[in-house]
Amino acid sequence: MAKKAKKPKTVANLETNDCRWPLGDPRDADFHFCGAQQIAGRPYCELHWRMSFQPSRPRHEQTAPRLPSLRAA
């Protein structure tokens, strides 16, 4: 598993191979990025890459979109 960055990474000090996983609200002063070492060819460290990946579900498990019901006035 990737090591965590020692110091919070901001846009100003984010380096090429730092994890770009955002932490916090961008409107807050303490907003920063993970900053741990990225997985080769990925924008995130191993932990955040695993968190970001959502495997597709088989078709039979997917629910059909619900259509709005029409009511008589």
**Tens digits of per-residue pLDDT, 53-64?**
877 877 765 566
Q: What is the Cα 27 distance to its own chain's centre?
A: 17
Residue 63 domain flag: no
Q: pTM for the full model?
A: 0.65
Range of the domain at 9: 1-28
Residue 11 domain flag: yes
Contact by Cβ (8 Å): 23, 31: yes
Flag residues of the chain having pLDDT under 70: 1-6, 60-65, 69, 72-73
> Into how many domains does the chain fold?
1
Residue 40 domain flag: no
Tokens matching residue 46? 């191993």
How high is the pLDDT of residue 62?
Answer: 58
Residue 23 domain flag: yes
Residue 10 domain flag: yes
What HEC string does 3-42 produce?
CCCCCCECCCCCCCCECCCEECCCCCCCCEECCCECCCCC
Say which residue the tokens 């019901």 belong to: 69
